[in-house]
Structure 1
């Protein structure tokens, strides 16, 4: 038989002679102590300037910053849950000195006070990492992007093409109504000169419909369907056109946006739970890392990565007043504009272009433009049969990002009867090719750089440096969707997430 069972004394109502000290309940090395230490070291003057003064007293911005950073470090993103943690969770209570901001105060601070200034605190914390010798702002950084879903309703889409189509439809129908009125009305009652509506707006449509109605007034043989269409047009077209104009301003050149979060663009999400790449309102997050620490983050409305790099680099330079020695990125960033920007800034571009991997395995595709030898001294190409292709003109092309490319055209002299004609090109006449010499040179330089010993090391290191950071943020810490709407607010969320990631990894 076993001995007598003995239980430890337990009396929840027992009073203690001295109250517990929260200091004793937070162990040394606890992450909350790191947050306190780091936030106490940063300069919060930019935040102080956001307070107007007067009225009721406010919670200290350093306290609020600690609350949010530690909240994001512990995967507590909701303002209501942060309010709850401040009242119940011992590390939060210790960090805040028993202060208890409510969720409205927390949300206002995050949405308003941190907007536009959080990146300054982020950069100060990165400078602390530099001082510790953990990262270097002058060495190579590894850049990549991911898409994070907006808090907007995914069915609230507005498409730029749809707006254009609807405006064209109104122009066409207005033109038909005007011609109908011209044929039916007297010359004195309506201008009978040929008229087309190249551009319509709410005011002009309203005036035109009024003119048509006045011209048709008293006419007995007006088609009832025309009257019905005019009534519909008078009631709806000006309002619709005003709405389309406002939406086009919000789109600012984009092809889509969300009605409930106009800053969000519809992007194809790889990690959709149905694995079918659904289009959802989202933002394109770009980060540059080193040793899996985030050194720079930017948020973009463009869905393609290559359009984001110039502004991403500009922010790096703005934050730290210096630039990295090199940028390592995948083929999504390999464009004429990006290679040129990096070259101009003196940054080594270890960036693939879209056909780099295939060329490394299979070589340059026979008969492609890249396979044609170029004689720079005399400005001609050599075709696969060894004949010259003479320069016949130059042109320009503007990319979707607004970048101007210079294009040179070359034409073969005699393709008729060539034994390679079928494999070389199918078009009638002599072959004409277009060459972007700037991009051609950048691609040659990129190939040489990527195949150096250093280039091969960077290529192997890139997926192990930057991609795990996204896995940490999205999968390990469950941040797959923004809580707030609008570019300024979502940038704050990403900033808090990036600071939390760096602190979590710093003292891990």
Structure 2
């Protein structure tokens, strides 16, 4: 039996096939075309949204936007690959009317219209809200790490710079000694010219690292990335990577992404108010409930959220269903209008005055006004303020941890520099230098590494070795400095958390990230900087929401709603 045979490649036809016949009636590409045609490109501020009267005609921004939406939907986002699709993909030919833009035109469109592309994501969400796809009942907030266009070798922390500069000093000293003895010895492995070359390389590299360190200290930043300045080194599931911590808010019923935020914070602390405020504005509602995991536990952020009309149902580490929130007490008189209002300013005024707003009845209970102690500068730390860096190091060598608050570093009893590692939940700053501690045998702390915790008011601490020596000499190990304390009034409430919403959190937040990173393979960005990465994340979230909308409604229903 013969095989099926196709048409001859050289066969000519009198009436060519219509390209529309090759595209199914329910193909997603028809939805992309109709949605982009419904947008007001001038309102979204796309570049060249009005064609010029003279000169060579350019490409319609609608066509290039359609191309990018199609590409991100079908896992093709490289400008060169998109340019190839224009010539070999029948659906893209249908979508663009057989236009063939080159890769540079495609690439420049995404970079030049980064802010406008982000707005397209919100425009599609508005369209879906009109179809009642967003329930607006509550949202689930979560973060995930995405790799940036920046290798770990091109990212420097202060500890990393300190260690490299120290090693370069050792190499420079060694090369200088070898140069001094170069003429006296014979049969050397390296000539004078080779030694001088290596010495100059070390000096040049040291000068570059010192410039990076000076820049970081003056800007109070912890890291510097050379390729993508906005990317930061952070811990992900697969280890450490240089990237961004992307925050998303997922609608409770439709599982669609209601909003996102680009951050370079290594942790999720303090992100609820920032993310939920944008979603609350897009939803157009007065009070928005949220849920998040334990990584979002931050008392100050929860206080700001409640004052902004956001209820933070954050999972507690102890598994409880209540949380104590605290506001600074301001004894103002609250009117009935303020008590029933949902305006953030009125909400904050009520909460600071010890009055529970009507919208928080049942959510906040057990109001009490109490006096708490507020620590101030220890009396023994005042002398450190007048010390120079050399004097601080000399004081540290006597058996102390001395903190330079201006440069945000700590000198240890061995003269090494400890840099800020993290900020603990109680507000203390943890300083550490693992690279210096590997070869150190001094037991100055009980920690595995020289980790020293300082409050924002502490400047000097006694090392364990010094404390033991003083205890052995005079029997007095109590070297704690006297402190001046003051009292302040605060208002405390009990926040009742919704256990059902917290139990449903994982079913909401994990699905979008799993689809974007695993199914679609978008675990890294192609662009650099907050603005461009935000545009790319907007296209990722838009492609996900398009899939969800098609799954919930179908292409024909969505097309009918657009017409």
Report the TM-score range of the alignment, normalised by the length of the smaller protein.
Answer: 0.5 to 0.7
Please state whether the residue corresponding to 1:145 is helix, strand or coil.
strand
Alignment of 1:447-486 (within 5 A): 449-450=496-497, 455-486=498-529
Q: 2: CA distance between counterparts of 1:459 and 1:100?
A: 50
Q: TM-score, normalised by structure 1?
A: 0.65
Q: 1: CA distance between counterparts of 2:60 and 2:36?
A: 12
Partner of 1:385: none
Larger CA deviation: 254-263 vs 286-295: 254-263
Partner of 1:335: 298
1:188-246 Cα shifts (integer Å, max 9, x gaps):
xxxxxxxxxxxxxxxxxxxxxxxxxxxxxxxxxxxxxxxx9xx99xx769954883367
Partner of 1:419: none
Q: 2: CA distance between counterparts of 1:332 and 1:392?
A: 27
Deviation at 1:285, TM superposition (A): 0.5
CA contact (8 A) 2:369 2:490 kept: no
Structure 2 residue runs of 5 or longer lacking an equivalent are: 169-195, 325-365, 379-404, 409-419, 429-454, 456-476, 552-563
Deviation at 1:123, TM superposition (A): 0.9
Please state whether the residue corresponding to 2:523 is helix, strand or coil.
coil
1:307 aligns with 2:270: yes
Partner of 1:206: none
Partner of 2:243: 282
CA contact (8 A) 1:316 1:323 kept: no
Partner of 1:412: none
Q: TM-score, normalised by structure 2?
A: 0.59
Please state whether the residue corresponding to 1:328 is helix, strand or coil.
strand
CA contact (8 A) 2:158 2:216 kept: yes
Q: 1: CA distance between counterparts of 2:273 and 2:369?
A: 32
Partner of 2:71: 71
1:267 aligns with 2:234: yes
Match of 1:31 among 11, 28, 31: 28
1:99-144 Cα shifts (integer Å, max 9, x gaps):
11111111111112x21222221111101110001104x4211110
Q: 2: CA distance between counterparts of 1:19 and 1:437?
A: 84
CA contact (8 A) 2:371 2:488 kept: no
CA contact (8 A) 1:296 1:316 kept: yes
Larger CA deviation: 51-60 vs 284-293: 51-60
CA contact (8 A) 2:371 2:489 kept: no
Alignment of 1:251-266 (within 5 A): 252-266=219-233
Please state whether the residue corresponding to 1:80 is helix, strand or coil.
helix
Partner of 1:11: 7
Q: 1: CA distance between counterparts of 2:423 and 2:125?
A: 30
User: Are the structure 2 counterparts of residues 24 and 123 from structure 1 closer, same or farther at C-alpha, using a change threshold of 3 Å?
Assistant: same
Deviation at 1:471, TM superposition (A): 0.4
Deviation at 1:55, TM superposition (A): 4.4
Q: 2: CA distance between counterparts of 1:91 and 1:439?
A: 63
Please state whether the residue corresponding to 1:316 is helix, strand or coil.
helix
Partner of 2:83: 83
Deviation at 1:377, TM superposition (A): 6.4
Aligned length: 385
User: Are the structure 2 counterparts of residues 392 and 337 from structure 1 closer, same or farther at C-alpha, using a change threshold of 3 Å?
Assistant: closer
Deviation at 1:41, TM superposition (A): 1.7
Alignment of 1:434-449 (within 5 A): 441=492, 444-445=494-495, 449=496
User: Are the structure 2 counterparts of residues 481 and 241 from structure 1 closer, same or farther at C-alpha, using a change threshold of 3 Å?
Assistant: closer
Partner of 2:211: 243
User: Are the structure 2 counterparts of residues 439 and 478 from structure 1 closer, same or farther at C-alpha, using a change threshold of 3 Å?
Assistant: farther
CA contact (8 A) 1:474 1:480 kept: yes
Q: 1: CA distance between counterparts of 2:32 and 2:502?
A: 34
User: Are the structure 2 counterparts of residues 37 and 242 from structure 1 closer, same or farther at C-alpha, using a change threshold of 3 Å?
Assistant: same
> How much is the aligned-residue C-alpha RMSD, in angstroms?
4.4
Deviation at 1:487, TM superposition (A): 1.9
User: Are the structure 2 counterparts of residues 74 and 392 from structure 1 closer, same or farther at C-alpha, using a change threshold of 3 Å?
Assistant: closer
1:347 aligns with 2:390: no
Deviation at 1:312, TM superposition (A): 2.1
Deviation at 1:303, TM superposition (A): 0.9
Larger CA deviation: 239-248 vs 39-48: 239-248
CA contact (8 A) 1:257 1:281 kept: no
Please state whether the residue corresponding to 2:12 is helix, strand or coil.
coil
Structure 1 residue runs of 5 or longer lacking an equivalent are: 171-227, 365-373, 381-390, 408-426
Q: 2: CA distance between counterparts of 1:484 and 1:393?
A: 46
